[in-house]
Structure 1
Amino acid sequence: MTYCVAMRLEAGLVFLSDSRTNAGVDAISTARKMTVFEEPGDRVMVLLTAGNLAISQSVRQCLAEGRDEKRSLWTARDMFEAASIVGDAVRQVHKRDAHAMRDAGIEFNVSLIFGGQIRGERVRLFNVYAAGNFVEATPENCYFQIGEAKYGKPIIDRVVHPSLPLGEAAKCALISMDSTLKSNISVGLPLDLLVYEADALRVTRFANIDEKNAYFRMIRDTWGQRLRQVFGEISDPEWDAAREAEFPLARTGEADSWGQPVRATRERSRTQD
Structure 2
Amino acid sequence: MTYCVGMVIDKGLVLMSDTRTNSGVDNISVFRKMFSWQVPGERMIAVMTAGNLATTQAVVSQLEERTKEPDQRETTLLNGPTMFTVATEIGRLLRQTISEVQAANNTKSRFTASIILAGQIAGMEPRLFMIYPEGNFIEASYDTPFFQIGETKYGRPIIIRAYERDMNVEDAVKLLMVSFDSTLKANLSVGLPLDLLVIGKDEFAPSHQRRITPDDPYFDQISSNWGDALKTAFHSLPNYQIEPR
- Output the TM-score relative to the length of structure 1: 0.85
Following TM superposition, by how much is the alpha carbon of 1:32 offset from its aligned partner in structure 2, in angstroms?
0.5
What is the letter of the counterpart of residue 80 of structure 1?
A: F
| Identity rate, percent | 41
Deviation at 1:26, TM superposition (A): 2.8
Q: Is the counterpart of residue 142 in structure 1 residue 145 in structure 2?
A: yes
Q: Is the 8 A contact 2:98 2:112 kept in 1?
A: no
The structure with higher relative contact order (CA 8 Å, sep 6+) is 2
Which secondary structure does the structure 2 equivalent of 1:90 belong to? helix
Q: Residue 191 of structure 1 aligns with which residue?
A: 194
Residues 224 and 97 (structure 1 numbering): CA distance in 2 closer, same or farther, change over 3 Å?
same
Partner of 2:2: 2
Letter in 1 for 2:158: I
Q: Which moved more, 1:63-72 or 1:145-154?
A: 63-72
Task: Tell whether the 8 Å contact from 2:73 to 2:80 is kept in structure 1 after alignment.
Answer: no
Q: Which runs of 4+ in 1 moved over 4 A?
A: none
What does residue range 149-164 of structure 1 map to in structure 2 within 5 Å? 149-164=152-167
Matched with 2:45 is 45
SS at match of 2:206: coil
2:79 equivalent to 1:75: yes
Q: Which amino acid aligns with 1:172?
A: L
State which drifts further: 184-193 or 74-83: 74-83
> Counterpart amino acid of 1:6?
G
Structure-2 change in CA distance of 1:23 and 1:228 (3 Å): farther
Tell me, which stretches of 5 or more residues in structure 2 are unaligned? none
Corresponding position: 1:226 with 2:229? yes
Deviation at 1:70, TM superposition (A): 2.8
Secondary structure in structure 1 of the residue aligned to 2:195: strand
- 2:132 paired residue number: 129
Could you say which residue in structure 2 is the equivalent of 1:94? Answer: 98
Alpha-carbon distance in structure 2 between the residues aligned to 1:214 and 1:106: 43
CA displacement at 1:56 relative to structure 2? 0.4
Aligned-pair distance for 1:23? 6.1
Count the aligned residue pairs: 241
Which range is displaced more, 160-169 or 124-133?
A: 160-169
Gaps of 5+ in 1: 243-273
